[in-house]
Amino acid sequence: MNGKELATRRWLLKGEWQTSNNGNFSSLHPHESQNYQTRTCIGLSGKTWRRGADPVPSGKELILPIKQVFRLKQSYAVWHEQGVTVEIMEQAETEERRMSKAAVRELQVEFEALLKDPPLESARALLPTGAIIRGEPSISLAGGYGRYTAVIRCNPGEPGNLYLKTYEITGEVPLSQYSLKQSSAELIGWSDEPDELFRASFDFTIYEGNWDQYYGARFEVWFTPEQGGRDRKLMESNWKIDGWSR
């Protein structure tokens, strides 16, 4: 995002890893639970998602300030150590920071394991079940009314990031060209074994068209190598979609 490499934590809900183009995991209209919103973000390039955030001084006890934001109580904290930044935001109806505490526990387990045994194979062992599967590359799409979630499985064979290009099929008209590239840009795992498939997923909006007025669109997955060189297309797939009506 804007030249910053960020990893946002996704939470497993009903067997699916939930994602959002703004990094938030939320339930603002639940049936039988509290309203909440949270984001856990690791700044791999040492920069924070939120501008102007002041990290907690190293070795200092954190007294977490909580303020009222509309009807929810919000907290926000940033840590910076050895070139990596961690930031956790939580909004909830009560001051108990359940999601923040859960995120800290997960991060502590992962970071301690990496510090103890840093080789790549040790890092791979920390990945959740299903992070790497074997099979054929694929694109799946879910959603409607112009708002979609894409799940991609592929292996580009080298480090870099993915992004989508989408075209209306009959006229080869690019769809949401600039916003789509921004919202779909994502670093993807890779290995030297071509049938090992890594997962990328993101939310995006198609603005051309109207609700329930369907048309054919071609989704192309493109790859930008980290080491330089020309972007290349990895795969494509056709889908019936509609557009977002404001």
- Name the average pLDDT for the chain: 88
**Each residue's pLDDT tens digit, 125-177:** 888 888 899 999 999 999 999 999 999 999 999 999 999 999 999 999 999 99
In angstroms, the CA 49 to CA 22 distance is 10
137 and 120 in one domain?
no
156 and 105 in one domain?
no
181 and 156 in one domain?
yes
**Each residue's pLDDT tens digit, 208-222:** 999 999 999 999 999
- Residue for token digits 């769809």? 175
103 and 143 in one domain?
no
Enclosing domain of residue 22: 6-125
Averaged pLDDT, 78-91: 89
Within 8 A by CB and 6+ apart from 242, the residues are: 144, 145, 146, 206, 209, 210, 211, 212, 213, 214, 215
Residue 28: pLDDT band (50, 70, 90) is low
Select from 125, 147, 172 the last residue of a domain: 125
Q: Is residue 103 part of a domain?
A: yes
Select from 89, 105, 125 the last residue of a domain: 125
pTM: 0.85
94 and 12 in one domain?
yes
153 and 191 in one domain?
yes
Q: Is residue 119 part of a domain?
A: yes
Q: Is residue 219 part of a domain?
A: yes
Higher pLDDT, 30 or 199: 199
Q: Is residue 48 part of a domain?
A: yes
14 and 80 in one domain?
yes
115 and 168 in one domain?
no
139 and 84 in one domain?
no
Q: Is residue 246 part of a domain?
A: no
Q: Is residue 189 part of a domain?
A: yes
Q: Is residue 174 part of a domain?
A: yes
91 and 10 in one domain?
yes
Domain at 196, CATH number: 2.60.40
154 and 111 in one domain?
no
In angstroms, the CA 153 to CA 11 distance is 19
Select from 62, 95, 125 the last residue of a domain: 125
Q: Is residue 1 part of a domain?
A: no
Residue 230: pLDDT band (50, 70, 90) is very high
92 and 179 in one domain?
no
H helical segments located in 117-194: 120-125, 177-184
Tokens matching residue 110 = 């992962």
Number of structural domains (the chain) is 2
Residue 196: pLDDT band (50, 70, 90) is very high
Residue 31: pLDDT band (50, 70, 90) is low
The candidate with the shortest Cα–Cα distance to 169, out of 238, 115, 114, 224, is: 238
